[in-house]
Structure 1
Amino acid sequence: MTLSLACCRSTTSSTLSLWVLALALPLPALAEFRPMGDGALSGVTGQAGVTIELETKLSIDRFSWIDEGSLNVNGLRLSGQNDTVLDNMKLTIDIAGDGEVLEHGFSEIARRANAGLLAPGNPDVADALAKYSVAGSFGKQFNSGDLVMHLGATDYGDPSSLDDYLRAVDFELAADSVTSTGTGGTATLFSNILLQGYIGPTDLVIRNGGSSTRTLANGNEVSGSELQLDTHFEITNGSLNWDAADVILLFNFAAVGIEGLQIHNRRGDDTLGHFGMASATAKLSRGTSAASGKEGLSIHEVEFRADIDMPVFKVGGTSIGSVQFTDFAITNSTMMVYGR
């Protein structure tokens, strides 16, 4: 089984270019870099983390998973909306001390509300203020050695505007097609995929659980050291042709075309704390299946919450009206991934 990338092109900010420059240094220059002693290291620990300002534009001609046949994503592109540069992103990276409170989720909203810049009469703002106010700081409390990465915006605009905050980072994800190739030929699963929208606060946390383990409700044993993903986003305009494919545990929508797709969380009974954005969380770690005894990658405590609007829903090229999902939720989901 092979994973391959073909004809990958990208342009990145000057921050990322520094890494290329470092790698290009001749050996005599690299020889000047020496390990830091204990005394020097003692002056580094306890600092306030690292901030990286990001901008990028990525394109991949073909991404392939090759086994007996191949699954190919063709003409993949990630950019800002309308094929501009994906920018105005700021990544903060911290290694937490014991009980340290670091930025997480909508903690910036809580900070603004506490400063009187946002009205706590807004239920989402009040929820953020209650959830992210911790010991006089704003964020989430972590344990010693946890690696915390928070993606937000470099410039959020007017600090008293929720709209500026929620639409600070726009993106566009597109792909020409997703195809499957085998001895019988090539089949197109999806085509003309376009998703435009906004990226909300996104967090990646590597929990330092050492060698500890815990048991999930289904009996699977997982490592206490795990990667935790928490993100909010909104799709404001999307389209695709669903040519021939199954979505695991859901349905087959072969010969369906979708236009004007929107994914958000603005209606129903499940909106509190999401500021109108869809949300997804998951935890990943090493695990052992209780059913098979196999070791592999455990993806657990997966949750997805959104409202989904498909105003133009075509079957066989003809519109049959619109489709809406309200309070669409995937919860209590666990997967164990391992080789055959």
Structure 2
Amino acid sequence: MTTLPTRSVPGAFPALVLALTLPSTALAEFRPMDDGAMSSVTGQAGVTIELETRVNMDRLTWTDEGSINVNGLRLSGHNDTTLDNMKLTIDIAGQNEVLDYGFSEIARRADTGVLDLAANADIADALTTYDTGAGFGKQFNSGDLVIHLGATDYGDPTSLNDYLQAVDFELAVDSITATGSEGSATLFSNVLLQGYVGPTDIVIRNGGNATRTLANGNTVSGSELQLDTHFEITNGSLDWDAADLLLIFNFAAVGIEGLQIHNRRGNDTLGHFGMASATAKLSRGTGSVSGQDGLSVHDVEFRADIDMPVFRIGQASIGSVQFTDFAITDTTLMVYGH
């Protein structure tokens, strides 16, 4: 009769269950593993997902006293093709582990000489930003969940343009309407946005039960979801039928054609490769004034240049409109029910 080891080791119970189902001759080949041996076989590689999709939604409705409806939503590749060539890498970081983040692939190519540092100031900046000394990317803490969206195939490794346009998308919405006791109104209609998705990162920071206090006094959890994305709108159009912007400007009966959102002008282009960028952090929070617990959206930042070559009011165009170095910063939201 074979005697099973009685020393408790991490993961020993599942191994014991498996062992009891095996013939004794096979069991004789099993040996207990100490903590060091167990750590050497812990999964380190993460998961990679190659993704292709097309999303269609007839109606999305949020109902309170009235309702808001998003009608005829579609997400696809350009010209209603499949949204493809996307690769998600998912990792749970070890302490100080360096994982792909942002434009780290550009830094990696620059380091090997595939991309010319002198050709574009952004390339040299990427090498400085993403070279950690222990790899290219960003250093994380133990237990951080890191999701990085890139491309399955970046095309010619010497072509920066191939890299930036590897993942194309198209977002279409027939209309966005509001319905209440007074009837219904169309807020936006004929929305069509075409562009490219740059590197996008979603990180769930493992902050345990720690908290921190924001500049406005709100208390937020140290465990938070962090979003960092780059993108470009190359061609967009919409009808702004009845809506206010920042509760100041009423854009009723406005039409926009040829919309472009990028970051190629002004003083804050470095490090963005001509793409607009957005970052935000989300966590549990408590408002310093209201005392309410809710969802805190903080450290919000958006940077872009915006071009509207055709800006119509009614049927007549009033010319073109451009924003340079458009930035939303120092923005915090506390969201809770009432």
> TM-score, structure 2 length as denominator?
0.88
Which residue is 1:300 aligned to? 298
- Deviation string 1:234-287 (CA, Å, 9 cap, x unpaired) is 000000000001234663211100000000000111100000000000000000
* Aligned residue type for 1:190: F
When Rg is computed on C-alpha atoms for both structures, the one with the higher figure is 2
- SS of the residue corresponding to residue 339 of structure 1 reads coil
Which residue is 2:271 aligned to? 273
Is 1:124 the counterpart of 2:109? The answer is no
What is the aligned-residue RMSD (CA, Å)?
1.6
Which residue is 1:52 aligned to? 49
Which residue is 1:88 aligned to? 85
Aligned residues: 306
Change (3 A) 1:204 1:67: same
- SS of the residue corresponding to residue 307 of structure 1 reads strand
Aligned 8 A contact 2:98 2:134 in 1 = no
Percentage of matched positions with identical amino acids:
76
> TM-score, structure 1 length as denominator?
0.87
* Aligned residue type for 2:114: L
Alignment map for 1:73-152 (pairs within 5 Å): 73-121=70-118, 122-152=120-150
- Deviation string 1:140-180 (CA, Å, 9 cap, x unpaired) is 00000000000000000000100000000000000000000
Which residue is 1:255 aligned to? 253
Q: Distance in 1 between matches of 2:262 and 2:125?
A: 18
* Aligned residue type for 2:86: M
* Aligned residue type for 1:227: L
Q: Which moved more, 1:242-251 or 1:154-163?
A: 242-251
Structure 1 unaligned spans of 5+ = 1-34
- SS of the residue corresponding to residue 261 of structure 1 reads strand
Q: Distance in 2 between matches of 1:164 and 1:237?
A: 18
**Alpha-carbon deviation of 1:45?**
2.5
Structure 2 unaligned spans of 5+ = 1-12, 17-32
Change (3 A) 1:95 1:254: same
Aligned 8 A contact 2:62 2:68 in 1 = yes
Which residue is 1:225 aligned to? 223
Change (3 A) 1:52 1:325: same
**Alpha-carbon deviation of 1:36?**
5.3
- Deviation string 1:2-56 (CA, Å, 9 cap, x unpaired) is xxxxxxxxxxxxxxxxxxxxxxxxxxxxxxxxx9559798676242100000000
* Aligned residue type for 2:100: E
